[in-house]
Structure 1
Amino acid sequence: MTREAAGATKAGYYLTTAIFYPTASPALHSLFEAVGADALARYQRLLGNETRFLTGMDEHSAQVEPLARQHGTDPSSLVDEWAASWRYDRFIRTTDGDHVEASLEMVRRAQAAGDIYKGTYSGWYCPGDNEFKTESQLVDGHCPDHPTLELQWLEEENYFFRLSRYQEALERLYAENPSFCEPEHFRNEVLAWLREGLRDFSVSRAGTAWGIPFPGDPDHRIYVWFDALTNYVTGAGFPGDPGAFERWWPADVHVIGKNITRFHCLYWPAMLMSAGLPLPRQVFAHGFMTFRGEKMSKTRGNVIRPEDAVALFGVDGTRYVVLREIPFDRDADITLGGLVRRYNADLANDLGNLVNRTVSMSARYTDGALPAVSSAGAPADLELRATAERIIADYHTAMGSLQFDEALVALMALAGAGNGYAESQAPWNLNRQRETERVGQVLSVMAETCRLLGHLLAPFTPASAARLAEQLGVPAPYDARGAGGPGLATLLAWGSGPEGWHTGAAQPLFPRTELPEEGGSLDDTPPDDPMRDTASPGVAS
């Protein structure tokens, strides 16, 4: 297989996150990227696509060695414990043997192409993001993303990559394929850097034993870009498994934060061009959670701990409120109070109420036995079906462009339509009037709506979606990761459930929750806000 042919017969869907800086306890905002990418991976599996989801940890980050000294241990032991709790299709650790070989091969190819040379670098280095900063990037002498950290002035002899050689090639890439970087507003920043002219960048560091030895010079270690960025091809099988690489590469999408577009949208494609490898199909940059207009960070002390969010909302509820409240393509302010209101309004009230009343009334009025939804042909029934089909189309459009908040808006519109249908048809009145046949038809339409909602929820709240299906009496035909089913095209077709089914027992899917009386550091809801309910502290049982 030639280098250029890799990916020509690619099968399967391959998505990645940026690899994370090592930490014992990432904050919720740091997991935003992984939660969104996980929802996308589940959606792709539900569509019927074989999917590979890659994330990992940048264990050769510059701060690991000093942190290990502070903890009285060695770097490898420090990161082993931090990596143990992550689970994905592949979790890359930059100390993995196959990744070391991939990084070495990428450098060797750049050397063979004449793109590596030795020079002297001096500049301000931010230890918070492993990046040298230009004077124009500094704010009051500090990194804008890490304003409490002191920059380090470094001057050392390093190896450099000839990024400037790829100026015209990258200009051509964006002229021919502008959607290589999405969304447009972050692409415009990349194009502005491109117009300024590309500068070569350092690809090695000296004076440390932690890291991958630089090919041909044991006194240097491969610096972050040829180490961290290379993880994407490592996860696809490069260079040791050509069959896997042909199957998975190029990546369908790299999901990254908006602060690292320069490296993924300029450095990385140039490195791949130098290596003779195909480019990823798209880089999608997400925005950040903010609090009072400021980016969340541990150094600012304005973070939400995942365990606090899970105590309030559960795992699935946390996934939902984060992706519903924060558009994936831009920044958004959040507070715990706002997340609580969203959870209660959407999940506990609208969706939870629809499922509970459907299952409860089915048990009460029909002993849980529902007729086929095809028997329901009243104008209101057909109207809800048409609404569902339109909403499902909107949902797919939103998911295809990683607009997760819009997909969830569509989903909740269907829940609202289902509740509106229940109110208009009033099966409780029909039951009192002994219109048994019509009661069964109405409840079958409500149950069909809930069945569709369960599949739409599955990428976002997988465990709760499975419980919803169990309560309806139609267990999901795919595994906990969303794989193995017939595909959403089949599952989301109106009436594609069983001809008639028997509902189970009603259980609250999303119990209401409330903030503790003392609120929290990120709860800026005024005490007299009518939307705030502080009658009962803690998490509702």
Structure 2
Amino acid sequence: MGEPFYITTAISYPNGKPHIGHAYEAIAADVIARFRRSQGRDVRFQTGTDEHGLKMAQTARAEGVEPRAFADKMSRLFQEMCDILNVSYDRFIRTSQPDHYRASQAIWTAMEERGDLYLGRYEGWYSVRDEAYYEPEELTEPEDGTKLSPQGTPVQWTVEESWFFRLSNYQQPLLDLYVSNPDFIQPESRRNEVVRFVEGGLKDLSISRTSFDWGVPAPASDNHVMYVWLDALTNYITGLGYPDKTELWERYWPADIHLIGKDVVRFHAVYWPAFLMSAGIELPKMVYGHGFLLSRGEKMSKSVGNVVDPLSLAETFGVDQLRYFLMREVTFGQDGSYSAEAIVNRVNAELANSFGNLAQRSLSMIFKNLDGVLPPPGEAAEDKELLERVAAACSELDQRFGEYAFSAGLEAWMGAVFACNAYIDAQAPWTLRKTDPERMAAVLGTLVAAVRRLAEAVVPVIPDSAEKLLAVIASGDGGQPIAQPQPLFPRLELSEDAEAAA
């Protein structure tokens, strides 16, 4: 077995249907997981749903069902999204599962035994939508007199008995962590935000609620359920068998990367490491806060009416096409924008017209002119030069993907695809068929070797299409004739349906 690699997404809050932001994070995490597997790493990949809290209870009540029944229905939609988008998770965790209750209560007990929990009274501003408390100085007040959180969500004044975590004890240990491990929070802009927040002083954190009962019961505390973020964050260790020293735990913890949205960096880079320090658990190696996906430059919201169903996008444009677009178009770590036109233009230019056409032309000529038998690559200088160019580009893709710079890696890969198309145009094997059949075979052999290497490199991004292409090529190994190749990427049309889907 290869070196372990444990990657998690933030678990999705299923009080509504999945949107494109959920899909973006799941796809990015899947690309990382598949890339690490391609390097021989022993990957463990976890995603799932965060099902407790007041917001879930309220939404269930509005629908006239119990919270658990509502969570069952909604969680299934998120798992189906992952399956349709070809997300290769090892566990889809749900925080309503029994082993998660046990793990959450175990970390609570460990923090309590450390002396970091105490019973008090909470008074402060709380956002139901964010399941988060905010300080007065963090709030904004629009002209209508309401108070809004930094995320733009309404807050309300809350007073209740609560257990508190001595977060204030961990200000200096956290600052020391950020200095000793500068890669702990990525990208750097997120790290700077967190450092400034912690330097401003940390107040003790309310970690239980008594105003609702849909949550993990706090140990030995009547009527208290855990604050949803302590419960939610614990999923990362639940999935490895905590508190037992299981084989999974021993092999995969600490996590190599928690991949999350930038809006929940504070919870993962401040609260979570503090909880783990308190419980005596080793810290994850990295928290990576990616940017938002914007619809035509605007943040998606239900009130604006621009929330996009990712499954509609996948059905309209294709799963691999959507995956490629998101990884190619957006500089990972920054906000990115998409539209139907952008998807159609990018996919047609790069997958259909360039890579897909390259593969189709090369394999079709072999099928028609060489009885489907794959020839070896040529030995001429231009043949070797092309294969060296392809190898260098794929090596750069590997390096860039290792840095989570997906768009830069695919830019290098695309450069090699363009080089292959320039080579086939310059060599003109359709002309060589009549004038120099031996040279034609060498050119086609060079092309199929290049296409194979390019397909292998891009499997993490477009797994279904790339593996189909590789299967066609592999069928010709050993001198067996390949079947007639089929186009991989039909051209997309910018129709009214496509516009509506995006």
Q: Does the TM-score normalized on the shorter chain lie above 0.5? A: yes
Query: In 1, are the aligned partners of 2:375 and 2:441 still within 8 Å (CA)?
Result: yes
Question: Shift of residue 457 of structure 1?
Answer: 1.9
In structure 2, which of residues 51, 58, 64 is the aligned counterpart of residue 59 of structure 1? 51
Amino acid aligned to 1:65: A
Q: Once structures 1 and 2 are overlaid, which stretch shifts more, 309-318 or 183-192?
A: 309-318
Question: Shift of residue 71 of structure 1?
Answer: 1.4
Question: Shift of residue 144 of structure 1?
Answer: 4.4
In structure 2, which of residues 408, 413, 416 is the aligned counterpart of residue 414 of structure 1? 416
Question: Shift of residue 26 of structure 1?
Answer: 0.7
Question: Shift of residue 519 of structure 1?
Answer: 6.4
| CA 227–517 in structure 1, closer or farther in 2 if over 3 Å, else same | closer
Query: In 2, are the aligned partners of 1:63 and 1:127 still within 8 Å (CA)?
Result: yes
Q: Say whether residues 1:48 and 2:44 are aligned partners.
A: no
| CA 518–90 in structure 1, closer or farther in 2 if over 3 Å, else same | closer
Determine helix, strand or coil for the equivalent of 1:179.
Answer: coil
Amino acid aligned to 2:127: C
Q: Once structures 1 and 2 are overlaid, which stretch shifts more, 222-231 or 233-242?
A: 233-242
Amino acid aligned to 1:55: T
1:107-143 Cα distance to aligned partner (Å, 9 max, x none): 1011010101122222222222211222333333323
Determine helix, strand or coil for the equivalent of 1:278.
Answer: coil
Question: Shift of residue 302 of structure 1?
Answer: 1.8
| CA 197–320 in structure 1, closer or farther in 2 if over 3 Å, else same | same
Q: Structure 2: how far apart are the matches of 1:330 and 1:209?
A: 38
Q: Say whether residues 1:365 and 2:358 are aligned partners.
A: no
Q: Structure 2: how far apart are the matches of 1:449 and 1:83?
A: 42
Question: Shift of residue 242 of structure 1?
Answer: 2.9
Amino acid aligned to 1:306: P
Aligned to 1:119: 120
1:271-420 equivalences in 2 (<5 Å): 271-373=275-377, 376-420=378-422
Question: Shift of residue 311 of structure 1?
Answer: 2.9
1:54-112 Cα distance to aligned partner (Å, 9 max, x none): 11111113211111111111111111122235153111111111111110011101101
Indicate the RMSD between aligned Cα atoms, in angstroms.
2.0
Aligned to 2:86: none
Structure 2: state its 5+ residue gaps: 84-88
Question: Shift of residue 500 of structure 1?
Answer: 5.4
Aligned to 1:426: 428
Q: Say whether residues 1:185 and 2:164 are aligned partners.
A: no
Amino acid aligned to 1:132: Y
Determine helix, strand or coil for the equivalent of 1:118.
Answer: strand
Determine helix, strand or coil for the equivalent of 2:222.
Answer: strand
Query: In 1, are the aligned partners of 2:104 and 2:234 still within 8 Å (CA)?
Result: yes
Query: In 1, are the aligned partners of 2:312 and 2:501 still within 8 Å (CA)?
Result: no
- TM-score, with length taken from structure 2: 0.93
Q: Structure 2: how far apart are the matches of 1:114 and 1:70?
A: 40
In structure 1, which of residues 9, 18, 24 is the aligned counterpart of residue 10 of structure 2? 18
Amino acid aligned to 1:460: V
Query: In 1, are the aligned partners of 2:313 and 2:501 still within 8 Å (CA)?
Result: no
Determine helix, strand or coil for the equivalent of 2:11.
Answer: coil
Query: In 1, are the aligned partners of 2:394 and 2:454 still within 8 Å (CA)?
Result: no
Q: Once structures 1 and 2 are overlaid, which stretch shifts more, 238-247 or 223-232?
A: 238-247
Amino acid aligned to 1:268: W
Question: Shift of residue 521 of structure 1?
Answer: 6.1
Query: In 1, are the aligned partners of 2:429 and 2:440 still within 8 Å (CA)?
Result: yes
Query: In 1, are the aligned partners of 2:2 and 2:42 still within 8 Å (CA)?
Result: no
1:192-271 equivalences in 2 (<5 Å): 192-271=196-275
Q: Structure 2: how far apart are the matches of 1:358 and 1:99?
A: 52
Amino acid aligned to 2:386: L
Structure 1: state its 5+ residue gaps: 1-8, 476-497, 524-541
Aligned to 1:436: 437
In structure 2, which of residues 164, 167, 185 is the aligned counterpart of residue 163 of structure 1? 167
Amino acid aligned to 2:267: F
In structure 2, which of residues 20, 38, 45 is the aligned counterpart of residue 28 of structure 1? 20
Query: In 1, are the aligned partners of 2:208 and 2:225 still within 8 Å (CA)?
Result: yes
Identity %: 41
Query: In 2, are the aligned partners of 1:384 and 1:421 still within 8 Å (CA)?
Result: yes
Aligned to 1:143: 149
Amino acid aligned to 1:42: R
Determine helix, strand or coil for the equivalent of 1:324.
Answer: helix
Q: Structure 2: how far apart are the matches of 1:55 and 1:297?
A: 23
Query: In 1, are the aligned partners of 2:164 and 2:204 still within 8 Å (CA)?
Result: yes
Q: Structure 1: how far apart are the matches of 2:187 and 2:20?
A: 23
Aligned to 1:511: 490
Q: How many residues were matched structurally?
A: 488
Amino acid aligned to 1:143: S
Q: Once structures 1 and 2 are overlaid, which stretch shifts more, 443-452 or 305-314?
A: 305-314
Amino acid aligned to 1:502: P
Query: In 1, are the aligned partners of 2:93 and 2:239 still within 8 Å (CA)?
Result: yes
Q: Structure 2: how far apart are the matches of 1:218 and 1:299?
A: 38
Q: Structure 2: how far apart are the matches of 1:359 and 1:72?
A: 58
Question: Shift of residue 461 of structure 1?
Answer: 1.2
Query: In 2, are the aligned partners of 1:15 and 1:52 still within 8 Å (CA)?
Result: yes
Q: Structure 2: how far apart are the matches of 1:84 and 1:283?
A: 27
Question: Shift of residue 381 of structure 1?
Answer: 0.7
Q: Structure 2: how far apart are the matches of 1:272 and 1:22?
A: 26
The structure showing larger relative contact order (alpha-carbon pairs under 8 Å, at least 6 residues apart) is 1
Aligned to 1:529: none
Q: Structure 1: how far apart are the matches of 2:301 and 2:332?
A: 18
Q: Structure 1: how far apart are the matches of 2:91 and 2:56?
A: 22
Query: In 2, are the aligned partners of 1:15 and 1:255 still within 8 Å (CA)?
Result: yes
Question: Shift of residue 333 of structure 1?
Answer: 2.0
Query: In 2, are the aligned partners of 1:368 and 1:504 still within 8 Å (CA)?
Result: yes
Amino acid aligned to 1:394: E
Q: Once structures 1 and 2 are overlaid, which stretch shifts more, 132-141 or 271-280?
A: 132-141
